Chain A
Amino acid sequence: MIEDIERAELEGPKIDRRTTVKLLGASGIAATAGCLGGDSGGDGDDGSGDDDGSGDDDGSGSSGDDGESSGSTGGRISAGWLTDEIEFLDPHMVDLGIQIEVHSNLFNGLLKLDEDTQIVGDAAADWSLPDESTYVFELHEDMTFHNGDPLDAEAVKWSLERLAGMETSPHTGKVSNVDSIEADGLELTINLSEPYAPFVSFMLRGPGRAGTIVHESAADDPDEYARMPIGSGPFELTDRTAGESLTLDAYDDYWETDEDGNQLPYLDGVDIELIPEPSTMWSAIQGGEIDYANLLTGEFAQQAEATDSITVQTASSGEWSGIAPLHMNPADETETVRWISGLGEDPTEMWNGEDIPTSDPRVREAIAIGIDREEIVERAWFGYAEPAHTLYNPAIGWLFEALGGSEPDTGFYYDPERAEELLDEAGYTDDPRIEATVLALPEDERELTVVQDQLSDIGIEIELDIQQQSSYWDNTYRYEQLLTAYGGAADVDPWMSDFKQFGYPNEETTEGAWQRSLYFDEDYSELINEANATPDLEDRAEVYLDVNEKFIEDAVFVTTVFPLNPKALGEVVSGVGTQGGLSNFHRASLDE
């Protein structure tokens, strides 16, 4: 249960002095940041050692340290992946967590998340910032791609420039303010056109993706590369059957070693089986057909915890969920809404002359404080989530802490009486006060069923309109529902949660490009842009106190929970790195 899980695991990093210095260094403030720690490939500078290991916080027993004795035993892990297909493995095309989880084992990024969800070097042994908009990365020596080609600064430069020139990549925008890149042996210099705080998070291997290093063969046959990519990670993809399985074999010449100089990875390989059904996944791990499940849904995670032979590890993957209320009539801003929707059609005129209750901030606030997040966590998520009183999830550790941790000072808190007062003030006194439809995906059903019951108590009757992804995504941009269930994942920087989702629409910068709620507010936009131009973390956090205050005051979006991803390890498996919702097998091993 949730109480038994260490806070550290839930909340991402606590900001201690050392990591603060390190992050500040990353952002170019601390003058001494550039100390070169990377002799012969060790991550000597980050101090956390077991970067891709799971750590011991969750009580999984053996990992990292005693992994080394069994480390040489090799062996293969059979792992279940909760999906029916992995479409893309080209990191520049990948946009789904389930794909990131695979390619995180196949590639290196410039940077990565360590076990405490802190940003540390991956291919980069270290980095420094001569000025606020220049990043200099020093790469490890002797890194090679799976085909033997050297991985040097030139290769990283090629990868970043490839991304910048791509038309169909969802990540091109992340390198749009890169002015120039210089490669010199193992030294890579990136010049930005202006200081941009989120940039460092884009260079992460896992959730960042832009900085994941793609081999130049990607240009020859992009489709084949998306299917069978060549990376530089600890495993190479050697075989796959569409809709069924992927075979990952250890890359013998992988550059990384553990603290004792043992070659990584320990395993000989990982056999990934695609299992789209949660109940099937549970049967499989329970029956020992698989050794690892990349995701168990709450009801099964609960059962797994009661099973001795299975260890459950939870981690925030930077995921947040909630409900977007419609702030205005889309027909009032035809041009802008047309751009946002990308559907090539004019927005609906169904709201013309109609009352839009959620355009009243009091109604939005009533909804936001009319839901009981603790109960949602228990009933809908079986305890595998954190209540979301603000927008910023625990994987953005520095900000999560700065706002006040799991009980932020300014946030949405359950208060049904106040909610009813607000509705009275707003003039909604009928029975029911408000009727609304909420557009949602099948996976939102449990949560919304609980929300439905709670809102019903304050006089708001909502009807669920559950649609498959294919139609959901189009319909979210048609604005025909008052409410839309919406969320994000893999958000390790606040930019990822607010810039495109709630910013003031701007076609050039893609700010506000994903507006579900049509919240067009210039003051808010100014605040988040100020924050993004503030690389100093403490200063940035200061700005974010204001951002958050404005967000809560305007009741921009009804946050519900930060889901935690329960992953299950069979008896013999240890050392899987699940930080950031990933499944890193770098240091995983089999105990016989």
Chain B
Amino acid sequence: MSSRFDGDGGRVFGIRTDLIEQFIGTVNRDLKAKVGVVIVTLFVIAAVFAPELAPYDPMAQDFAPLQAPALSSETPLGTDSFGRDLLSRLMYGARISLGVGLGAVLFGAIIGVLLGLVAGFYGGWIDDLLMRSVDVMWAFPWLLIAIMLVAIFGQGVWNVVIAVGFAYIDDFARITRGEVLSIREEEYILAAESVGLGDLEVVFEEVFPNTVAPIIVQFTVLVARAMLAEATLSFLGLGVKPSTPTWGALLGQGRDFITQAWWISIIPGVLIMITVLGINLFGDALRDAFDVREVDSE
């Protein structure tokens, strides 16, 4: 099922080159994958270069409020209720949405993968203990966890990252553990152990690279979901600090003006949709490339 990495395939910046090759192959074959890659690339560029690309200061209330979008005007995507340029705000918003999305999943991935590796590799009571604690999280829907965490620790970028990412720990833990279990008794692992490599070395040199494909796929899927989660939290007023322009916050701020000024809500909503769509397509392409079966996870 999972592609088996023999440890000799080479790596670029620590990433296995065979996976990259497989991915490029898929993108060449599949139109959907191409669309996904293009969207994701555009999004990342907008996010990274927002300060250079944005025409105005996203916080400056320099224009008349509630200007409708008009491509020929100073503010092509219109202004919000304070007279701020929406285009600039959306570009800066991309930054935070991307940052929160990536950060949250990274947070979940690091903790989850470590837990999964340890649980799967050692088995026995360690496995029981770790997976039981992860199981507890199944008793709480992600939003509940996120709301509680924000309520306890307050609003802010890092708190949102953790609140959203917390719920992904069990996804990564489960997947990693499953993968580890499926290869635990393979010859090359046993061989590595018999040669006398330490546990840590075996786990990171042999076990981890062979579980990485499904983890990457899951990572992508969850980044999309994290962006939606961030939007929902921001909408509920539990997101990052109020003045920070995130897509979710922009969308939420437009709600009260929806009949007067539809663009404030609709444009960020469409952008969220397109971006998440792109990331999902990208994720699907990765999935096809690595031949990973879709896992049910939420």
Contact = CB atoms under 8 A, between A and B. Distances in A.
B61 A379 contact: yes
Given A442-B237, A453-B60, A467-B154, A303 B243 contact: no
A485 to B, nearest CB: 12
B163 to A, nearest CB: 16
B151 to A, nearest CB: 8
B194 interface: no
Contacts of B259: 303
Interface in B221-250: 237, 241-243
A279 B154 contact: no
Interface stretch (A99-107, A113-121, A444-452, A520-528): A444-452
A299 B59 contact: no
Contacts of B241: 463-466
Contacts of B255: 279
A300 B257 CA distance: 8
A449 B243 contact: yes
Contact of B65 (A379, A442, A463): A379
B47 to A, nearest CB: 22
A278 interface: yes
Contacts of B60: 453
A360 to B, nearest CB: 26
B33 to A, nearest CB: 41
A26 B60 CA distance: 52
B3 interface: no
A471 B241 CA distance: 16
Interface in B137-190: 154-155
Interface string B246-284: 000000000111011000000000000000000000000
Contacts of B2: none
A464 B242 contact: yes
Contact of A299 (B83, B154, B242, B257): B257
Given A279-B255, A299-B81, A452 B59 contact: yes
Contacts of A456: 59
The DSSP consensus for interface residues of chain A is: helix
A46 B96 CA distance: 61
A464 B59 CA distance: 13
| Residue from the set A453, A464, A465, A467 with the largest chain B CB neighbour count within 10 Å | A453
A459 to B, nearest CB: 15
A464 B243 CA distance: 7
Contacts of A463: 241, 243
Contacts of A452: 59, 243
B82 interface: yes
Given A379-B61, A466-B155, A299 B243 contact: no
Contacts of A449: 61, 82, 242-243
Interface residues of B, number: 18
Interface in A344-358: none
Contacts of B155: 466
B256 A278 contact: yes
A591 to B, nearest CB: 28
B61 A450 contact: yes
A445 B81 CA distance: 13
Contacts of B256: 278-279, 297, 299-300
A273 B114 CA distance: 52
Nearest to A303: B260
Contacts of A466: 155, 241-242
A371 to B, nearest CB: 13
Given A379-B65, A456-B59, A466-B155, A450 B242 contact: no
Contacts of B154: 467, 471
B243 A450 contact: no
B237 A379 contact: no
Contacts of A450: 61, 82
Nearest to A282: B256
A300 B82 CA distance: 15
A445 to B, nearest CB: 5
Nearest to A465: B241
B244 to A, nearest CB: 10
A453 B61 contact: yes
Interface string B9-36: 0000000000000000000000000000
Nearest to A279: B256
A287 to B, nearest CB: 12
Interface in A260-291: 278-279
Interface string A296-328: 010110010000000000000000000000000
A583 to B, nearest CB: 22
B25 to A, nearest CB: 49
A453 B257 CA distance: 21
A281 B241 CA distance: 26
A406 B256 CA distance: 30
Contacts of B257: 299
B165 to A, nearest CB: 23
Contacts of B61: 379, 449-450, 453
Contacts of A464: 241-243
A90 B149 CA distance: 36
A453 B57 CA distance: 11
A377 to B, nearest CB: 13
Interface in A152-168: none
A207 B254 CA distance: 35
Contacts of A453: 59-61, 82
Nearest to A457: B60
A348 B256 CA distance: 39
B242 A379 contact: no
A98 B237 CA distance: 23
| Residue from the set B237, B255, B256 with the largest chain A CB neighbour count within 10 Å | B256
Given A303-B259, A449-B61, A464-B242, 10 more contacts: A279-B255, A297-B256, A379-B82, A379-B83, A449-B82, A450-B61, A453-B82, A463-B243, A466-B241, A466-B242
Interface of A: 278-279, 297, 299-300, 303, 379, 442, 445, 449-450, 452-453, 456, 463-467, 471
11 contacts: A299-B256, A300-B256, A379-B81, A379-B82, A379-B83, A449-B243, A452-B59, A453-B60, A453-B61, A456-B59, A466-B241
